[in-house]
Every structure is written in structure tokens, then in C-alpha cells.
Amino acid sequence: MADPFLELIDISKSYPGVIALKGVTLSVAPGEVIGLVGENGAGKSTLMRILGGVAAPDHGGLRIDGNERAAMTIDAAGKAGIAFVHQELNLFDNLDVAANVFIGREPRKAPPLRLLDTEAMRQRTAPLLKKLGADFTPASPVADLSLAQRQLVEIAKALSFDARLVILDEPTSSLTVTETNRLLKIIADLKAAGVSVIFISHRLQEVERCADRVIVLRDGRKVGELTGAEIEHEAMIRLMIGRDLKSLYIPPKAPPGAEALALTQLRTSAFPDKTVDLTVREGEILGLAGLVGSGRTEVARVVFGIDKQTGGEIRLKGEPVRIAEPREAIARGIFLVPEDRKQFGLLLDVSISQNISLPDLASYANAWLIKPAQEDANAERQKRRLNIKTPNVGVVAGALSGGNQQKVVLAKWLSMKPRIIIFDEPTRGVDVGAKQEIYELMRALSDSGVAILMISSDMEEVIGVSDRIAVMHEGRISGLLERSRFSEDNVLRLAVGRPLY
Amino acid sequence: MLKKDLGLLILILVVSATVAFINPRFLLPINLSNTMNLIGLYGIFSIGVGLVIITGGIELSVGSMFALLGVIFVDLLSTYEVNWALASLIIVITGLILGALHGFLVTRMGLQPFIVTLCGLLIYRGVARFYTEDATAGFPFGVTYPALQWLTTGRTLGIPHSFIAFIIIAIVMGIVLHRSVFGRYLFAVGKNEEAARYSGIRTKRVISSAYIICGGLAGLAALFLTLYTRSISPATHGNFYELYAIAAAVLGGCSLRGGEGSMLGIVLGTILLQVLQNLVNLLGIPSSLNFAVIGAVILFGVLADQQITRHGGLTQFFRRRPVPQAIPEKQG
């Protein structure tokens, strides 16, 4: 491997109350693909902020092309050819692809007006897109592009800066299998062209497939570096958490009971010509797998009364019901833990206590006047029961970590009488420790007779947690697997619409 | 009491003390009583507008409503000789209906509150002017309505009834806003309408209710204003009053993004605005500068609040609820 052009040497950084990084050293050679893994809070983001010049290290320094410097600046990072593709894509979807690639440095026409030279922008964008094998044009509006396509736009933008190092932060978390494969291919192409890549991901299989070298961070320290054949799923996990991951599956105490929720010929507006048939029984966790966009969330939204049911029947314990709004679902004990908790699950700048009481305020009120003491008392109970890590329940929900926020969403529903809980991506953005707690809680709920429908795109989760798995493909259930037939291969085959052997 | 309210109270006291020092007439009972009357008149509808702002909406049409409801009220009393109590009831109900209409257009038709109420502002003003053919509507000479006049423009122990009505409404609505389930819902839809809906709140109903309450309070304020001016020139009556209400709410800590504000803040905001008006009069500042002074004070107040909030300082000191723990690192 060639000599490194970029080195971070013995970097330390602390924020009030936390040591974010401690003595981390990282070098990047041309054409090298580095996987950066670690749990949430391990220090990956801080390291990247230092690399991008957004934060300055307290201790340590950098070397770019042999020149030492104490800290990076945003400007210097750009000049050194470091380009970021962020987890939340920073694109303007009201503009076209070329305008996004050249945002802030648009080619202009002649003075005096110096109007935008749209032609030049598009001409210069076209070869970049071609290089990436993009199936859209420089003139395509970003609003019409899929998430994967938008990611390509970001990468094209990075290339337009003649990037020598492209940093991909969780690039595959919302991609389908085919899209992920294509991205990995693009990473290989970048590598062949001498561009280095830092690939930050929780998806270890993908890291395994593309990285030349893997750096594992834990609690702000570099705890391991794997190269070549050492790069292997189990080894990474062991380093990340410092222990072997115990099996996720907790068997139910009793066999599942009666049918709790049954959908027959249910139609959603997303797939008007497809119907869904699905049964969830009391005391079981039914996993609902499938690719992003296969219509799983839409089913949840109809059952919870967010979207209109366009056909078919919903039965609760055999009794047909119509659910026109969330209020009616909640009244029947059907609760939803939404995928995007910041947008739909919580009021971020409201206290934990008031978030928890919101769906059931009337029971904390006496003649319409709320009793804050009762709200707080219940919130305290839930805090202890769910192990919500917070000094007190008056703290605003937005100040909590992802896992604790998810526990607050759960606490809302557990304060009431759940019969059916739909979890939509229950552990997205939740760290490993809190994940396990959430799984244990789900099992405890199902053992108490609650029916659980768990939508998940995380293969490990679907296979590890579910009692049965239903797989969706393009708006319909393509198959139902019992535990004996659980395998990654089977779930994937059904998810892409192929038959099982 | 939040630190915002405390700051506002201090500002009111400082401004009042300064004015009183420069011009002792500020403290004359007649001046105080007049100022209280104005506070009451403006405060009643500012509370309604404040509620709408807390839901994340806006209400621009109250000034025009005063013109329209005013001319109808005068007409009911003088031309049709309707009993004053019945006429008053009709006016308040009309206000409620207009509010319901705004709520319907905003929540069911999905129109933006700014547009709905801007159209209201234009339409009600236009209809009012057409109704009287642009003439001033007044009560016939020599006719009096003793009970109605006593209720709206009378005083008890020197305190104007409009002020008493304002305080009663503020207390009731303060309890509704800060202690009741409905009040909590108002804040919740203002903070995050979608999350509120996912928590089973009937958000459309809650938002509509805010417009309806606002319309009802505007109807009530229209009665007080009509009896206060005793004649309505439909082209100018109530002009800019919606902006006074918005200004009071914003000064009082309501965020135009919704989800924030307090009843005490709205009350103090109204008081500050009227004290400033009084200041302009008493200090011999040309009345043409009136708006400029008020505009400058609002700008200064909001700016100061922002700076204080951003840099901690007073915020930390006066904050009652616990300071949120900073998250050291973003996820990922």
C-alpha cells in the first residue's frame, strides 16, 4: 500500500463531562477503503468532525502530504480533497442535479449580469454521473430521485471537488439490497481510481465486503484495527462491545394465544391494486420484513388510523372495526411506535413527563385540570421500569440519546393498556445496549399477552427477535416463515419476490 | 412565572417609573383609569389571537371584524331596535361563526392561516364599508342604553369594566391554557402537529377551537369597542388592531412558530403596549411617531430576549425547569 497522504496523530478531544476521543491515530493511504465502526457514542462522529475541520482536537495533530498542522480547518479540509457524504443528505430538492453539484460555486456567464451558466453546470456534471453509472441526468430534479440516487448526487458532488478522500457516513442504512450492491461497486471503482474512502457503518456485512482495513472505536479509543482476512463480523462485534453478542432471541413463555389482529384483503393507497392478509396472535412477536418501500409502514399507518383504509377488513379479536384516526386506534389499545420518533413520536422540546402523559391526558386530570404531580409520578415509574437514563423526568425529550428517546415513546404506550403494539424500526439510531433492553421489553410485553408487530429492515433483528416473520414485497405479503425456516437467505428471497426452494 | 414574563414585568415597571418621573400626570387616577380601559379593550382580543399563535397559526382579521361586527351591532340596536342583550349575543355568536369558518378553512381545506385571515381582513372591511355605504354608523342622538353602557364603559371603584372583563377572561383562559387538557393540546399541536396526531389528539378540532375562541373574544371586544367609540367609521375602525394583538403576544413570549407562550406574557405584552402609547402622549412625542416607538420597542425586546436566551446569562438564573442535559455527541 502507498504511503499515507493524511494522518491523524494521537488525537484527543473532550467535551464537558465526556471524553469523546482519547489518543486516536488514523492514517489514510491513497486508494484505501477504511471501515470505521463502533457503537453510537464511540467517537466516530467526533473523529470525522475533526477531520472535516469542524472541531479542533484538544491534543494531537494532523499531517497532510507530509505537512504537520495542529488542527484542520473547513477550508483546508476542502483543499486537501476531503469530501463528506452525510447520513442526512444535504441536497436542495427544489433544484436539479447539476445545480446541487455546483451549489455555492456556480459557473457564471459574462459580466455585467453574471447570470448562472446552466449549460456549463450540466456539461460538467454529466461525466461525473457517467462515471458513477447513474441512471438520471444532470437536469433531473432532485425531488424526483430516490434516496440511493440522491446519494450518488452527493458522491458526484464530492468527485467534482477532485476529492482524494470520500467519507461515507452510514451510506447504506436506507438502501435496498441492489442499491447497496451498486454503492459497494462504486466504492471499488473509487478505490481503483486512487480515491480513498472512509466507510462508517453499523452494517458490518457491508464493511466486511468493502474495507481493506477496519478501525474499531469504543468509548473514544481505538480498540482494534483489522486488516485483510481478520475483517470479519464476529471479530468486529467483539471489539465494538468488548464481549460476544449474546443471542437476541428470547423464547416466549407460552405458545401464542388467540388471533388479536387480522387484516384481510387490506388495501392501502400506496399500492391500490395489492392486498394484504396478515394475522398477529396474542403473545407473539411477528416480524414484518421487506425492502424499504415495500409497503410495510403503509400497513401500519392504516391500522393506526393515520392513512385511509381503501379496502378490505381489519378485525380485532375477530370483530371487524373501522379506524378513521389514531385516537380510535389508541382507544382500542392499538399503539404505534413510529419509525421517525423525532417527527412523529415525541415533542422534542417538551419534558419527558409531559410526553409520556400526552396520549392519555384525561386520566391525569380531574375535571379537565391536569395534575402535574400525577404525570411526574407516572413518568418516574416508567423511568425506573424502562431504565430511562435521565437525571429527572423534567428534562426535555430532545436532550436524550436515541435509545432513551425510544424508551420515552414506549413509556407513553406502556402507561396505558396495550393490546397490539406496532413497532416500526424499533431500534433505528439506538445503541447496542439499549437495543437489548428494548428486545427484552418486547418479549415481556408479548408474554403478558400483547400482540406485537415489528417492522424491521435490520436482518439481525428480524431473525433474532421474531417468533414468525411475514415478508412483504411490493405491497403484498410474499411469504410467512416459521422459526424453523428462519434464514437470511429465505427472508431476502421473499423480500425480492423470488420463491423459496 | 417564567423569566420572560419577569423580564417583561421589570420593563413595564421601568418604563412606567420613567414616565411618571418625567411627567407625574401619568399617575393621575384619570390617566391610570383610561390606560386600564385601553388595556382591557386591546387585551380581550389579544388573548384570542395569542391562542391561535400558540397553535402555530395566525389571525389577521380581528381589526376588520370590529368594523363589520360594529356596524351590524349599531344597526341592530338603532335601526332594528333589537334588545341590547340579544344584539350583543348575536354579535358574539357571529364572531364565533367567523372563527369557525377560519378554523374550517385552515384545518379542513388545508389553507395557510395567513392567507385565510388576510382574506378575512380584506373581506370583512369591504363588507362593512359596503354595508353602510362608507358612511359612519352611530347611535341616534339622545338614545342611550344604560345597562349596556354601564357594563361596557362603566367603572367600579374607579376600575373600568373593560379591564375587569379582561382580567377575568385572562384568568379563565390562563387556567385553560396552562392547567387544562385542552390547553396542553393547544401547545402540543403548536409544537408538533404530527406527533400530536400520533398521540391520538384530534388536532384539527383543537386548532379550529383556537380560531373559534379567538372569533368569540373578537366579538366580545367588538361590543366594548363600539360602545367606547360610540360610532363606527367602517374604513378606519379597528385598523391595525390585529397587529397590536400579534405584537402583544410576541412581546409576551409567543413564538410565531407555535408551541410557545403564556397567558401572563400576553397580558403583560398588552400592558406594555398601552403604557408605551401613554408614554408617547404624555412625553409630548409627536403622535405621528406612535408606531415607530412601538415598533422599535418590540424589536428591541425580541432582540434582547434572543440574546439573553442564546448566551445563557439570565436564562440560567431564572429558569425554573431543569436545564436540559447536553448530548455530547450526535448519533452515528
Q: pLDDT tens digits for A171-185?
A: 876 677 788 888 899
Residues 426-445 (A) with a CB less than 8 A from some CB of B: 429, 431
Let me know: does A61 contact A71? Beta carbons within 8 Å: yes
Q: What is the mean pLDDT of residues B15-30?
A: 91
Q: Which of A366, A400, A416 is the last residue of a domain?
A: A416
Q: What is the mean pLDDT of residues A219-223?
A: 87
Residue A75 lies in a domain: yes
Q: Mean pLDDT in chain A?
A: 87
CA–CA separation, B211 vs A482, rounded Å?
A: 54
Residues 150-179 (A) with a CB less than 8 A from some CB of B: 169-170
* The length of chain B, given as a count of residues: 332
Tell me the longest C-alpha to C-alpha distance in chain A: 79
Q: Which three cell numbers stand for residue A98?
A: 447539476
Res B202 pLDDT > 90: yes
Using one digit for the tens of pLDDT, what is the confidence trace for A234-285?
A: 788 778 766 444 467 888 888 888 899 999 999 988 888 889 999 999 999 9
Burial class of residue A285, CB neighbours in 10 A (0-12, 13-18, 19+): buried
Of A97-101, A175-179, A205-209, where does mean pLDDT reach its minimum? A175-179
In a shared domain, residues A43 and A170? yes
In a shared domain, residues A29 and A125? yes
pLDDT at residue number B91: 96
Q: What is the mean pLDDT of residues B86-90?
A: 95
Q: What is the mean pLDDT of residues A104-128?
A: 90
Using one digit for the tens of pLDDT, what is the confidence trace for A286-332?
A: 999 987 778 899 999 999 999 988 889 999 998 999 999 999 999 99
Q: What is the DSSP letter of A313?
A: E
pLDDT at residue number A17: 58
Q: Measured between CB atoms, which of B181, B195, B332 is closest to A44?
A: B332
Res A458 pLDDT > 60: yes
* Cα nearest neighbour of B186 on chain A: A358
Going by pLDDT thresholds of 50, 70 and 90, the confidence category of residue A34 is very high
Q: Which of A373, A392, A416 is the last residue of a domain?
A: A416
Using one digit for the tens of pLDDT, what is the confidence trace for B169-195?
A: 999 999 999 999 999 999 999 999 999
Let me know: does B36 contact B159? Beta carbons within 8 Å: yes
pLDDT at residue number A33: 94
Using one digit for the tens of pLDDT, what is the confidence trace for A132-153?
A: 888 899 999 999 888 788 888 9
A43 touching chain B per CB within 8 A: yes
- For chain A, give the percent of residues with pLDDT over 90: 44
In a shared domain, residues A378 and A454? no
- For chain A, give the percent of residues with pLDDT over 70: 96
In a shared domain, residues A53 and A181? yes
Q: Which three cell numbers stand for residue B243?
A: 397587529
Res A489 pLDDT > 80: no
CA–CA separation, A33 vs A179, rounded Å?
A: 19
Res B326 pLDDT > 60: no
How far B183 CA sits from the closest chain A CA (Å)?
A: 9
Q: Is the pTM of this model over 0.80?
A: no
Three-state secondary structure of B244-294: HHHHHHHHCCCCCCCCCCCHHHHHHHHHHHHHHHHHHHHCCCCHHHHHHHH
Q: Which of A86, A335, A350, A388 to mutate to test the interface with B (most CBs of B within 10 A)?
A: A350
Res A87 pLDDT > 80: no
Cα separations (Å) of B224 from A257, A369, B59, B84? 66, 30, 20, 13
φ/ψ region of B84 (left if φ > 0, alpha if ψ in -120 to 50, else beta) reads alpha
Structural domain range at position A381: 342-416
Residue A252 lies in a domain: no
Q: How many CB pairs under 8 A join A and B?
A: 118
Residue A227 lies in a domain: yes
Going by pLDDT thresholds of 50, 70 and 90, the confidence category of residue B142 is confident
Residue A200 lies in a domain: yes
List Cβ neighbours of B75 (8 Å cut-off, separation of 6 or more). B131, B137
Q: Measured between CB atoms, which of A351, A358, A359 is closest to B321?
A: A351
Q: Measured between CB atoms, which of A330, A345, A431 is closest to B195?
A: A345
pLDDT at residue number B1: 56
Contacts of A397 in chain B (CB under 8 A): none
Q: Scanning the structure block, which residue is given the C-alpha cell 370483530?
A: A319
Let me know: does A137 contact A100? Beta carbons within 8 Å: no
Res A497 pLDDT > 80: no
Residue A482 lies in a domain: yes
Strands A33-37 and A196-200 turn out to be parallel
Q: Scanning the structure block, which residue is given the C-alpha cell 430576549?
A: B305
In a shared domain, residues A37 and A63? yes
Using one digit for the tens of pLDDT, what is the confidence trace for A14-24?
A: 876 567 899 99
Q: Nearest CA to A187 among A46, A75, A201, A459?
A: A201
CA–CA separation, B198 vs A346, rounded Å?
A: 9
Using one digit for the tens of pLDDT, what is the confidence trace for B268-320?
A: 999 999 999 888 888 888 888 888 888 888 888 778 777 766 655 444 444 44
Q: Measured between CB atoms, which of B187, B198, B332 is closest to A40?
A: B332
Three-state secondary structure of A162-231: CCCEEEEECCCCCCCHHHHHHHHHHHHHHHHCCCEEEEECCCHHHHHHHCCEEEEEECCEEEEEEEHHHC
How far A225 CA sits from the closest chain B CA (Å)?
A: 19
Strands A213-218 and A221-227 turn out to be antiparallel
Q: Which three cell numbers stand for residue A418?
A: 396495550
pLDDT at residue number B315: 41
Q: Hey, where are the domains in chain B?
A: 40-267
In a shared domain, residues A105 and A26? yes
- The domain total for chain A is 3
pLDDT at residue number B188: 95
Contacts 24+ apart (CB under 8 A), B19-23: B19/B275, B19/B278, B19/B279, B19/B282, B19/B283, B22/B282, B22/B283, B23/B282, B23/B283
Going by pLDDT thresholds of 50, 70 and 90, the confidence category of residue A461 is confident
pLDDT at residue number B245: 94
Burial class of residue B310, CB neighbours in 10 A (0-12, 13-18, 19+): exposed
In a shared domain, residues A482 and A447? yes
Residue with more model confidence, A134 or A498: A134
CA–CA separation, B89 vs B132, rounded Å?
A: 22
State how far Cα B94 lies from the chain centre.
Answer: 18
Buried b (16+ CB within 10 A) or exposed e, A377-398: ebbbebbeebebebeebbbbbe
Using one digit for the tens of pLDDT, what is the confidence trace for B220-270?
A: 999 999 999 988 999 999 999 999 999 999 988 888 888 999 999 999 999
Subunit contact B322:A45, Cβ cutoff 8 A: no
Subunit contact B322:A325, Cβ cutoff 8 A: no
In a shared domain, residues A19 and A56? yes
Contacts of B196 in chain A (CB under 8 A): 347, 358
Q: Which of B171, B173, B198 to mutate to test the interface with A (most CBs of A within 10 A)?
A: B198
Contacts of B259 in chain A (CB under 8 A): 347, 349
* Cα nearest neighbour of A332 on chain B: B200
Q: Which of A183, A208, A241 is the last residue of a domain?
A: A241
Q: What is the mean pLDDT of residues B83-96?
A: 95
Interface residue ranges in chain B relative to chain A, Cβ cutoff 8 Å: 175, 179-182, 184-185, 187-188, 191-192, 194-202, 259, 321-322, 324-332
End-to-end CA distance of chain B: 39
Using one digit for the tens of pLDDT, what is the confidence trace for B42-53?
A: 999 999 999 999
Cα separations (Å) of B193 from A207, B190, B258, B275? 39, 6, 10, 36
Residue A249 lies in a domain: no
A88 touching chain B per CB within 8 A: no
